């Protein structure tokens, strides 16, 4: 019988009606810890990550997998999502108190949840599934085992990712606002302050570039900058590099609240109570993106770029910027607080002054001006860029250079924009490539140069009328490459005689466009394969209850990459 595994997206609203309650206040909700061990964090809510704020807690699992994961409150399993990437094996539990908890990077589910998920996987003949059980299908009690901790998906090591979301809005809420027993008497650590001239009439410390002040702690616990005052003039923006640590481990976490005062007047305020997934990529406007790209440091701006769409701010005066005139002294004070109430402060002065004689004239920008609040396009003979409205956080002068492509490239290398400038969501990129033979059209793709790995990252694309067109979400250097090489399948522990065994492993790799599918069949019957791209392995399941008994069993493994190149492995086995 064919089952309806995918429930309508209107379902969350029905869930709220079914429970019939409003979201409770955080101080009235009592959660059970999701693990049986003392809770120590590898990462916390609101920590800055690549293209997003972290939406939950990364709870340490003592460097190992297989710890029992328990439901934090009674409810029912409302979602089961399985993917080789992202959260890996994840389960969502909706509770009658108006919240939903999320448990991610699991090694495996409880028997009941696993059976439900596996039935869907075989029915749909795919490893990746996103399932929405109805309220009566998988009820759970508080403290009930729902899975084992693991390292699945894009996890960088064994841990449990734990979230609390408002069920109706799906907004993740800071779990540290609840009753979870996580000890923290460590104040945030202020590492650097950045002073940024915001226009061509501004300067600081005798220069037009940003100035960075190192910070160190006084004997009384307050922080001081390595310059107590900075001479400057004009419109000034500030940014701060700050982390938090909790008891027990040295992991760098994010802070809860940042307040910046100018002459004792609150000028900027941010608080991380909750987040919205729809606006998560705006984190790139919140941070000083270029410094993160070059140094992997997260400076958080205390002023807003024009197209910053985040909703984490409280008081913002004059956009958070400070106007400093000659002869004026502005006393700046930062107050940084974590959820436990531990606070750190740092103070310094901005002193207005006439520009020094050595101050260089403002450099005239080069490149085509692109406004942040409109559609933008760039065209050359061999490259076209189209950015819909809403892709830029601020005005910019668009940079472009063209150079010889790498060995084997089918086009020149096109450097579009600056890699230190973020782009909000994807835009269209077209590169001319009119020398391709028709037989090669399906295998042509756009690739981006990765300066860290010194290699190229496939970005997809389709050949049309002499051009390869795709959508990308960052500036960088792009060219057209050809991927006509199939993936490689290597046997790990598959044997002719599989009697007494229920699974086997193979290793699969691809040289460019990436693995798209990894199907396997025994006598024509699909078998489940769990793909782990971190290890380049697939674990295939031999379930005798799903394979009709026969005299011989013909195994076929078929692996495709994103361009459709296919590799196969065939073998006769017994089991």
Q: How far apart are CA 147 and CA 104, in angstroms?
A: 10
Residues 363-392: what's their mean pLDDT? 96
Whether residue 15 is predicted with pLDDT greater than 60 in this model: the reply is no
Does residue 570 register a pLDDT over 80?
yes
> pLDDT confidence of 362, banded at 50, 70, 90?
confident
In 3D, which of 5, 2, 139 has the Cα closest to residue 73? 139
Mean pLDDT of 221-234: 96
The span from the CA of 150 to the CA of 108, in Å, is 8
**pLDDT surpassing 60 at residue 10:** no
Distance of CA 534 to the CA centre of its chain: 16
> Using an 8 Å Cβ cutoff, are 325 and 352 in contact?
yes
Residue 573 above 50 pLDDT? yes
Average pLDDT, the chain: 94
pLDDT level of residue 179 (50, 70, 90 thresholds): confident
381-406 residue pLDDT tens: 999 999 999 999 999 999 999 999 99
Tell whether the model's pLDDT for residue 24 goes beyond 60: no
What's the CA gap between 163 and 90, in Å, rounded?
11
- Residue 361 is predicted with a pLDDT of 83
Choice among 267-271, 358-362, 490-494 with the minimum mean pLDDT: 358-362
In Å, what is the CA distance from 64 to each residue of 72, 145, 183, 453, 518? 21, 18, 22, 29, 28
Q: What is the pLDDT of residue 20?
A: 31
pLDDT the model gives residue 26: 62
CA distance 256 to 243: 10
Mean pLDDT is lowest, of 167-171, 172-176, 357-361, 559-563, for: 357-361
In this predicted model, what pLDDT tens digit does every residue of 457-500 receive, in sequence order? 999 999 999 999 999 999 999 999 999 999 999 999 999 999 99
Chain-centre distance of CA 26, in angstroms? 26
- Which domains, and CATH codes, for the chain? 11-177 (2.70.70.10), 189-352 (no CATH), 368-482 (2.60.220.30), 488-573 (2.60.40.10)
Q: Is 223 buried (19+), middle (13-18) or exposed (0-12) by CB count in 10 A? A: buried
405-435 confidence digits (pLDDT tens)? 999 999 999 999 999 999 999 999 999 998 8
Taking only the tens place, the pLDDT of each residue in 129-178 is 999 999 999 999 999 999 999 999 999 999 999 999 999 999 999 999 99
pLDDT of residue 38: 96
Helix boundaries (H) for 27-146 = 111-124
Per-residue confidence (pLDDT) for residue 220, from 0 to 100:
86
User: 524: phi > 0 → left, psi -120 to 50 → alpha, else beta; which?
Assistant: left
| CA of residue 337 relative to chain centroid, distance | 24
**Nearest to residue 197, comparing CAs of 185, 188, 206?**
206
Question: Distance between CA 116 and CA 134 in Å, rounded?
Answer: 12
pLDDT in the model for residue 17: 31
Average the pLDDT over each of 20-34, 66-80, 83-97 and give the range with the smallest value. 20-34
Q: 62 forms bridges with which residues in the sheet?
A: none
How large is the average pLDDT for residues 266-283? 98
pLDDT of 517: 99
pLDDT score recorded for residue 481: 98
208/199 Cα distance (integer angstroms): 9
Those residues whose C-beta lies under 8 Å from the C-beta of residue 2, and which sit 6 or more positions away, are 123
> In the structure, how many helices (H) and strands (E) does the chain have?
4, 44
- Listed residue (368, 247, 264, 246) closest to 317, CA to CA: 264
Q: Render the burial of 524-553: b for 16+ CB within 10 Å, e for the rest.
A: eebbbbbbeeeebbbbbbbeeeebeeeeeb
How much is the average pLDDT of 282-292? 98
């Amino acid at each position: 019988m064919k089952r309806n595994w995918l429930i309508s997206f209107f379902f969350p609203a029905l869930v709220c009606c079914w429970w019939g309650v409003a979201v409770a206040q955080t101080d009235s909700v009592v959660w059970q810890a999701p693990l049986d061990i003392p809770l120590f964090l590898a990462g916390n809510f609101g920590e800055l990550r690549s293209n997003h704020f972290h939406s939950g807690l990364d709870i340490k699992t003592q460097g190992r997998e297989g710890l029992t994961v328990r439901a934090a409150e009674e409810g029912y399993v409302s979602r089961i999502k399985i993917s080789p990437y992202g959260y890996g094996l994840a389960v969502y539990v909706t509770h009658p108190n108006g919240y939903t908890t999320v448990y991610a990077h699991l090694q495996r589910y409880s028997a009941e949840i696993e059976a439900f998920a596996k039935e869907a996987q075989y029915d749909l003949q795919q490893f990746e599934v996103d399932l929405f059980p109805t309220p009566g299908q998988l009820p759970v009690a508080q403290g009930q085992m729902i899975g084992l901790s693991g390292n699945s998906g894009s996890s960088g090591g064994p841990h449990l990712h734990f979230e609390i979301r408002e069920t109706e809005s799906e907004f993740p809420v800071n779990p540290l606002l609840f009753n979870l027993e996580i000890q923290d008497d460590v104040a945030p650590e202020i590492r650097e302050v950045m002073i940024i001239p915001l226009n061509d009439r501004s300067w600081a410390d005798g220069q037009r570039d940003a100035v960075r002040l190192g910070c160190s702690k006084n004997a009384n616990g307050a922080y001081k900058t390595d310059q107590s005052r900075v001479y400057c003039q004009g419109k000034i923006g500030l940014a701060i590099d700050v982390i938090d640590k909790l008891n027990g481990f040295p992991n760098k976490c994010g802070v809860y609240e940042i307040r910046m005062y100018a002459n004792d007047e609150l000028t900027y305020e941010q608080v991380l109570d909750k987040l919205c997934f729809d606006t998560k990529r705006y984190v790139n406007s919140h941070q000083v993106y270029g410094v993160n790209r070059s140094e992997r440091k997260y400076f958080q701006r205390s002023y807003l770029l024009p197209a910053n769409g985040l909703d984490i701010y409280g008081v913002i005066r004059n956009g958070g910027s400070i106007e400093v005139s000659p002869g004026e002294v502005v006393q700046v004070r930062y107050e940084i607080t974590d959820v436990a109430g531990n606070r750190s402060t740092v103070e310094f002065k901005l002193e207005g002054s006439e520009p020094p004689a050595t101050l260089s004239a403002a450099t005239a920008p080069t490149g085509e001006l692109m406004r942040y609040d409109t559609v933008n396009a760039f065209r050359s003979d061999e490259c076209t860029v189209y950015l819909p409205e809403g892709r830029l956080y601020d005005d910019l002068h668009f940079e472009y250079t063209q150079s010889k492509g790498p060995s084997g490239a089918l086009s020149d290398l096109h450097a579009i924009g600056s890699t230190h400038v973020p782009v909000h969501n994807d835009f269209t990129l077209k590169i001319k490539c009119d020398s391709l033979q028709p037989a090669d059209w399906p295998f042509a793709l756009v690739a981006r140069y990765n300066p860290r790995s010194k290699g190229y990252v496939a970005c997809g694309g389709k050949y049309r009328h002499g051009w390869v067109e795709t959508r990308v979400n960052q500036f960088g250097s792009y060219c057209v490459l050809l991927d006509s090489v199939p993936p490689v399948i290597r046997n790990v522990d598959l044997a002719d005689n599989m009697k007494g065994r229920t699974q086997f492993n193979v290793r699969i790799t691809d040289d460019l466009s990436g693995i798209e599918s990894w199907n396997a069949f025994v006598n024509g019957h699909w078998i489940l394969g769990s793909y782990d791209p971190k290890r380049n392995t697939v674990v295939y399941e031999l379930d005798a209850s799903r394979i009709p008994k026969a005299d011989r069993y013909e195994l076929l493994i078929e692996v495709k990459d994103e361009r459709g190149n296919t590799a196969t492995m065939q073998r006769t086995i017994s089991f």
